[in-house]
């Protein structure tokens, strides 16, 4: 089923076993938090993330009554599908005790999620929910709820502006709301423009992927400038991108895998995550340091140069960066 029908079900009671997947990490997190709060299970729940998943541990947890007389909430979060026999048994155990709940937040391919839907059939007392990116109206509604939860005073115009600025990425919008809440005062469009960095221009992201992939970039830079991007915004986006690649590289070296939710605080689309992880592995740490130094030097030169010279300086900087990557 889809989000709207799931919302209607939640008004009656919390479904006991649910598979959540799709393209909207924020909404998945939203409903996971809703379950924890309604069941008052923060202290008693069992969370098994990624490689932490252990079938015997999950089975034992659902096989016993809660130690505190409350609810057993088993939350499994992973990108690999569960074996059907294990999944069917966990759902069966959930049905046997009215205080048992199972949530599987799946971040893998949609086709693999669909393969698990048969286990989450309503005949078995379970259900599945697929989420899509929110439209502006839905996005604004969820951001309003998030702002209320954070105690942040912000009007609908500012929320809509934030949603558009960050290209409808609710997870990223939620992170920015957390930062804005630290101000402890009303927030308007003015504060958002001052404090929130826009990641909306997908063309800039494409430019930087091409830059790191050693592809031609001069035409893309020219097109961005024609579309109204200025030299400073492109340079800031490049600094932000290099920082992300560094974080990806450091995380992969420690954990042997990439997880944008843990690295950045929000989940990137799978293809973007894989692309950045691939670039991070290819670029040596020493080269990343040189890129940082080049960008800092370029920022100083741009700020001290005349407006008519900035375009030439930007092109020169991009060429230097790409030379470092060869």
Specify the pLDDT at position 147.
95
Average pLDDT over residues 62-80: 82
Mean pLDDT on 55-72: 82
Q: Above 70 in pLDDT, residue 313?
A: yes
Residue partners of 292: CB distance under 8 A and separation at least 6:
239, 242, 246
148, 97, 115, 120: which is closest to 1 by C-alpha? Answer: 120
Q: Which CATH architecture has domain 202-325?
A: Up-down Bundle (1.20)
Residue carrying the six token digits 């947890």: 61
* DSSP conformation class of 2: B
pTM of the full structure: 0.61
> What is the pLDDT, as a whole number, of residue 169?
81
Is the model's pLDDT at 317 over the cut of 50?
Answer: yes
Provide the mean pLDDT of the chain: 87
136-195, CATH topology level: Helicase, Ruva Protein; domain 3 (1.10.8)
Here the tokens at position 135 are: 């439209």
* Residue 164 buriedness (CB in 10 A; 0-12 / 13-18 / 19+): middle
pLDDT band at 202, cuts 50/70/90? Answer: low
- Domain limits of the chain? 3-131, 136-195, 202-325
| Residue 200: per-residue pLDDT | 42
pLDDT value at 171 more than 80: yes
Band of the pLDDT at 180, cuts 50, 70, 90? very high
Fold annotation for 3-131: Rossmann fold (3.40.50)
Taking the CA atoms of the chain, what radius of gyration do you get in angstroms? Answer: 23
CA distances for 320 relative to 22, 214, 272, 305, 325, angstroms: 40, 12, 25, 18, 9
């Amino acid at each position: 089923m889809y989000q709207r029908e799931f919302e209607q079900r939640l008004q009656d009671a919390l479904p006991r076993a649910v598979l959540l997947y799709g393209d909207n990490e924020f909404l998945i997190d939203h409903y996971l938090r809703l379950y924890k709060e309604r069941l008052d299970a923060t202290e008693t729940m069992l969370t098994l993330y990624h490689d932490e998943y252990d079938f015997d541990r999950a089975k034992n947890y659902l096989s016993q009554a809660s130690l505190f007389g409350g609810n057993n909430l088993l939350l499994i979060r992973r990108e690999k599908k569960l074996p059907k026999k294990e999944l069917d048994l966990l759902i069966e155990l959930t049905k046997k005790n009215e205080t048992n709940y199972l949530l599987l937040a799946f971040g893998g391919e949609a086709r693999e999620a669909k393969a698990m839907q048969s286990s989450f059939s309503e005949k078995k007392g379970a259900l599945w929910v697929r989420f899509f990116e929110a439209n502006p109206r839905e996005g604004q509604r969820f951001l309003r709820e998030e702002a209320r939860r954070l105690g942040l005073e912000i009007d609908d115009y500012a929320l809509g502006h934030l949603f558009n600025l960050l290209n409808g990425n609710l997870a990223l919008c939620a992170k920015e709301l957390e930062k804005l809440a630290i101000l402890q005062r009303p927030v308007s469009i003015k504060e958002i423009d001052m404090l929130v960095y826009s990641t909306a221009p997908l063309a800039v992201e494409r430019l930087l992927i091409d830059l790191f992939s050693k592809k031609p970039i001069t035409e893309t830079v020219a097109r961005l400038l024609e579309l109204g991007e200025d030299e400073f915004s492109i340079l800031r986006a490049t600094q932000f991108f290099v920082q992300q690649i560094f974080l990806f590289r450091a995380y992969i070296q420690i954990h042997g895998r990439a997880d944008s939710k843990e690295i950045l605080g929000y989940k990137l689309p799978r293809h973007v995550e894989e692309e950045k992880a691939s670039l991070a592995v290819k670029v040596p740490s020493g080269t990343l340091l040189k890129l940082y130094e080049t960008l800092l030097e370029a920022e100083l030169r741009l700020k001290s140069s005349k407006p008519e010279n900035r375009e030439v300086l930007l092109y020169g900087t991009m060429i230097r960066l790409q030379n470092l990557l060869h």
